[in-house]
C-alpha cells in the first residue's frame, strides 16, 4: 500500500484501489478551500493514472462530510475578496472532475453526508451506506440553493418531485429512507461497511478496465441521447472491446474454466 500525504485528505493505493479519505474529523470533514483543491488534484490524477482502477471516497472519524466549511473565509477557493461566482466555479471544477473519472467510483458513507458533502457522495457511481448514515440537502436551511451538481443528479436519481421535496424541506433522512428513495445502492450494518465496500472495490479492480469505462460512459449519457444513438454508441464501444487483449483473455479464460486476468489493454 502507498499513501500520499495531504493536509485535509488521505490518499491510499493498494491493488488498483484508490481510497480517498476526507480527513477533518474535528469539523465532521467539512470541506474548506484547501480540501477542495486537494480533491481536485486527486480526482484529476486518478482519472489519468492507468494503475488506478477503482476509487473509494469516505470520511474519517465517523462522518462522511458535513458540507462546505462556511467558516473558511476563502469559501471553496481563491481569495477572500474574489466574487462568489468565481469561487463557486472552483467547486464546479471539483465536481466535474469527479464526474469525468472514467472508471468506477464508490462512496462509503457513515455518519452525516450533507450539502456539498452529499453531492460528493452522489457524484460517485455507487453509494454504500452504514445503517448509521444520515443525509440532507441542507442548503435551504442555510438560505442557499443547491450546488455541487445536486440539481442535475437528484432528479435523475429520485425523480423530479422527490428531488424537490428533498431540496425544499432540507430534512435529514436516514440511510433506510435514502435507500427507499433510490439515493444509495446498499445499506449495511456499520461493522460490515468496510468489508462490504472493500469486496466491491476489489471485484471492480479485477474487472476489465476498458469495458467498465465504456459502460460507465454509456450509462452516464443514456438520459441525454436517443435509442438510435445509444445503439450506435454501443456498437462502437463493442467494436473497441472486441479488439482488446482483455476480451481475448476473457474468451480464453471462459474456455479454460478459470477467472480472467484483465490488464487494461
Read off the pTM. 0.93
- Are 70 and 98 a contacting pair, CB within 8 Å? no
Residue whose C-alpha cell reads 431540496 in the numeric block: 167
Q: What pLDDT, on the 0 to 100 scale, is given for residue 56?
A: 98
Grid coordinates representing 230 are 445509444
CA–CA dist 207, 184 (Å, integer)? 22
Per-residue confidence at 74, pLDDT binned at 50, 70, 90? low
pLDDT at 257 > cutoff 70? yes
Per residue in 117-175, pLDDT tens? Answer: 999 999 999 999 999 999 999 999 999 999 999 999 999 999 999 999 999 999 999 99
Per-residue confidence at 50, pLDDT binned at 50, 70, 90? very high
Encode burial over 52-88: b for 16+ CB neighbours within 10 A, e otherwise: bbbbbbbbbeebbbbbbbeebebbbbbeeebeeeebb
pLDDT over 90 percentage in the chain: 86
CB atoms within 10 A of CB 179: 18
Per residue in 167-218, pLDDT tens? Answer: 999 999 999 999 999 999 999 999 999 999 999 999 999 999 999 999 999 9
For the segment 87-106, the average pLDDT, to the nearest whole number, is 93
Q: What pLDDT, on the 0 to 100 scale, is given for residue 66?
A: 96
Nearest to 94 by CA among 34, 49, 154, 136: 34
CA 120 to chain centre: 6
Homologous superfamily in CATH for domain 2-205: 2-enoyl-CoA Hydratase; Chain A, domain 1 (3.90.226.10)
pLDDT at 83 > cutoff 90? no
CA distances from 163 to 73, 88, 124, 125 (A): 30, 22, 18, 18
CA–CA dist 250, 69 (Å, integer)? 47
For the segment 39-66, the average pLDDT, to the nearest whole number, is 97
Half-sphere exposure of 67 (CA within 13 A, CB side): 16
Neighbouring-strand partners of residue 59: 22
Domain boundaries, the chain: 2-205, 209-256
Per-residue confidence at 76, pLDDT binned at 50, 70, 90? low
Mean predicted lDDT score pLDDT of the chain: 93
Q: What pLDDT, on the 0 to 100 scale, is given for residue 5?
A: 72
Q: What pLDDT, on the 0 to 100 scale, is given for residue 78?
A: 59
DSSP state of 9: E
For the segment 103-114, the average pLDDT, to the nearest whole number, is 98
Q: How large is the C-alpha radius of gyration of the chain? A: 19
For the segment 36-42, the average pLDDT, to the nearest whole number, is 95
Amino acid at each position: 500500500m502507498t499513501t500520499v500525504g495531504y493536509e485535509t485528505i488521505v490518499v491510499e493505493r493498494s491493488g488498483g484501489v484508490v481510497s480517498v479519505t476526507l480527513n477533518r474529523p474535528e469539523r465532521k470533514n467539512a470541506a474548506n478551500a484547501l480540501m477542495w483543491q486537494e480533491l481536485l488534484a486527486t480526482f484529476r490524477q486518478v482519472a489519468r493514472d492507468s494503475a488506478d482502477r477503482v476509487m473509494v471516497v469516505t470520511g474519517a472519524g465517523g462522518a462522511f462530510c458535513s458540507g462546505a466549511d462556511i467558516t473558511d473565509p476563502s469559501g471553496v477557493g481563491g481569495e477572500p475578496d474574489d466574487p462568489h461566482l468565481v469561487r463557486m466555479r472552483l467547486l464546479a471544477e471539483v465536481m466535474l472532475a469527479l464526474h469525468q473519472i472514467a472508471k468506477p467510483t464508490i462512496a462509503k458513507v457513515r455518519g452525516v453526508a450533507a450539502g456539498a458533502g452529499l453531492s460528493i457522495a452522489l457524484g460517485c457511481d455507487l453509494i454504500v451506506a452504514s445503517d448509521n448514515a444520515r443525509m440532507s440537502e441542507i442548503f435551504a436551511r442555510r438560505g442557499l440553493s443547491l450546488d455541487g451538481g445536486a440539481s442535475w443528479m437528484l432528479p435523475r436519481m429520485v425523480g423530479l418531485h422527490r428531488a424537490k421535496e428533498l431540496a425544499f424541506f432540507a430534512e435529514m433522512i436516514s440511510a433506510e429512507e435514502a435507500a427507499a428513495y433510490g439515493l444509495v445502492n446498499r445499506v449495511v450494518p456499520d461493522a460490515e461497511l468496510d468489508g462490504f465496500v472493500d469486496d466491491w472495490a476489489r471485484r471492480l479492480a479485477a474487472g476489465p478496465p476498458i469495458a467498465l469505462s465504456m459502460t460507465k460512459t454509456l450509462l452516464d449519457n443514456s438520459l441525454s441521447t436517443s435509442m438510435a444513438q445509444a445503439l450506435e454508441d454501443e456498437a462502437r464501444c463493442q467494436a473497441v472491446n472486441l479488439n482488446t487483449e482483455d476480451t481475448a483473455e476473457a474468451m480464453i479464460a471462459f474456455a479454460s474454466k478459470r477467472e480472467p486476468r484483465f490488464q487494461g489493454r
